[in-house]
Amino acid sequence: MYSPNVLREVPMVVVDESHTPLSRQYIRLLDATPQVHVQGVIADMPQAHERMKEGKATGIVFLPEDFETKVSRGEESVFVSYNTTMAFLSYATIKEATSGAMLALDTSVRPNQVVFLDADVVQPVVNTPSIPVQGIALYNENGGYATYLIPSVLMVIIFQTMLMVISMQCGKEYELQIRPFWSATNYNSSWGWAISMVIGKSVVYVGFYALFSVFLLGLLPLVFDLPHLASPLLLVQLLTPYLFGTAFFGLACSPFFKDSDAPLLLIAFFSVGLLFLSGISWPLELMPWPWRLLHCLIPAPVGVLAFVKANSMGADLSDISREMMLLWGQCVGYFVLACWGYKRKCHP
């Protein structure tokens, strides 16, 4: 769906009131950037706004009447870019292009501007180099949207579908009042029965989902050219607590699953929310603390974060130790809760 991955040739319009070689040079430079495409040069601002309303343009660059005059007088010439904030992705794309074109124009104009400096300053200024600045993106180097979002979505899919399977099964059992075929009478204590129920069930779910994960996290990234930096061993180390944590979480919730369809409704609803909670779009550090706490209590957001770190950023086990500890902690916590839930089912 996000197959273009990055925004290219975002449509823009230019209002050129200057009509000079300099303004035309800027328009050429802007159009030459891969990020935007100059749709047209428009006579005035109201018409340009009209274009934006029609959805034919995402941004406007306004080149004022004195655009070139000011430069030739040695004053600072300012142009205006009206940039839509409707989607921050297009905003950033346009900004990159307008300021990139501006820097290119500045570089080409600067040598002519030497005449405006004091004669005795010219030589030292021209000889003093500016410090070259370079920006380098680490991980997801070309800023792709699919390469950013899809790995996280895959992890959420695993969590959500496993919960759905568990809820449907438990709901069905409740509806039909199926007694577990493994009768509790064989056991001396109800705890023993509960523990073996929980372990037995989760091993089946985890086994099934381990296969599913090989396909989802192992194969899909290769096929669709998504990041796949993590070693298989690390993925196994990460997925073990993730899958068990999810299974125990599902079983711990099972006392609430009293219908085979209703839980689906609740679970499906949370998908987008879980992505938000993982902190891959809005940084965790800036979330209010109750949401940070919730982040730590659910396997999915923690798992997503660990997976992104391992798979998209090439982190090793020690780099994701915080997430691993949380995941194992959740495993233990939800295991106890799940057993307790089953124990109560045994003696209602």
Partner 1 sequence: MIMNDLFNVFCRELQRMNSRRIYWVACLVLPLFSLVFMATIFGDGQMKDLPIGVVDEDNTSASRHIVRMVDATPELHVTQHFANETGARKAMQKKEIYGYLLIPSKITSLCYYYHNAMLSVGGELRSTFETILQEVSVTPIVTEAIGLGENESTLTSFLMPVSETEYPTYNDTRNYAVYLSQPFFFVFLQILLLLVTTYALGSESKFGTSDEWLESAKGNMGIAVMGKLLPYTLIFITISIFANVVFFKWMQIPLPCSLWTINGVTILFICATQALALFLYAIFPALSLIISVASMVGSLGATLSGVTFPVLFMDTPVYGASFLFPIRHFVEVVQSLLYLDGTFADYWPNITILLIVCILPIVLLPRLKHALITHKYDSIE
* Residues in region 206-265 near partner 1 by CB under 8 A: 227, 259-262, 264-265
Q: Which C-beta is closer to partner 1: that of 99 or that of 189?
A: 99
Q: Binding segment for partner 1 among 79-87, 181-189, 242-250, 328-336 (CB under 8 A)?
A: 79-87
Rg of the Cα trace of the chain? 29
CB nearer partner 1, residue 94 or residue 194: 94
Site for partner 1 in 17-56 (CB under 8 A): 22, 26, 49, 52-55
What token pair was written down for 156?
A: 């959420």
Distance of CA 261 to the CA centre of its chain: 30
Shortest Cβ distance from residue 316 to partner 1 (Å)? 8
DSSP annotation of 183 reads: -
Please identify, using beta-carbon distances, which residue of 203 and 293 lies nearer to partner 1: 293
3 state DSSP class of 225: coil
The DSSP output letter for 315 is -
> Residue 77, interface with partner 1 (CB under 8 A)?
yes
Q: Total residues contacting partner 1 (rule CB under 8 A)?
A: 106
What are the beta bridge partners of residue 14?
A: 41, 61
Query: Taking the complex as a whole, how short is the minimal distance between the CB of residue 199 and partner 1, in angstroms?
Result: 28
Among 174, 191, 212, 276, binds partner 1 (CB under 8 A): 276
Q: How many CB atoms lie within 10 A of CB 12?
A: 31
Pattern 87-126, partner 1, x by CB under 8 A: xxxxxx--xx-xx--x--xx--xx--xx-xxx-xx--xx-
Which of 34, 45, 82, 196 touches partner 1 (CB under 8 A)?
82
Place of tokens 């500045």: 106
Q: Does 305 bind partner 1 (CB under 8 A)?
A: yes
> Which residues inside 190-209 make contact with partner 1, applying CB under 8 A?
none
Q: What residues between 146 and 175 interact with partner 1 by CB under 8 A? A: 148-149
Side chain identity at residue 189, one-letter code: S
Give the integer Cα–Cα distance in Å for 258 and 163. 14
308 binds partner 1 (CB under 8 A): yes
| 250/267 Cα distance (integer angstroms) | 11
Would you tell me how many other CB atoms lie within 10 Å of the CB of residue 53?
A: 9
The reply on whether position 137 binds partner 1 by CB under 8 A is yes
Contacting residue, 21, 46, 128, 185, with partner 1 by CB under 8 A? 128
Q: How many CB atoms lie within 10 A of CB 157?
A: 14
**The one among 44, 281, 332, 344 contacting partner 1 by CB under 8 A:** 281
Smallest gap from Cβ 21 to partner 1, in A, equals: 13
Rule CB under 8 A: is residue 145 a binding residue for partner 1?
Answer: yes
Alpha carbons 172 and 262: distance in angstroms, whole number: 11
Rule CB under 8 A: say whether 180 interacts with partner 1. no
177 binds partner 1 (CB under 8 A): no
- Cβ distance to partner 1 smaller for residue 60 or 184: 60
> Which residue, 121 or 236, has its beta carbon nearer to partner 1?
121
Residue 281 vs residues 6, 20, 309: alpha-carbon distances, Å: 16, 43, 14
Name every residue whose Cβ is closer than 8 Å to that of residue 247 and which is 6 or more positions away in sequence.
Answer: 162, 166, 201, 202, 205, 206, 209
User: Within 10 Å of residue 288's Cβ, how many Cβ atoms?
Assistant: 7
> Is residue 65 near partner 1 by the rule CB under 8 A?
no
| Residue 77 vs 202, nearer CB to partner 1 | 77
C-alpha dist (Å) from residue 234 to 4, 318, 319: 30, 11, 11
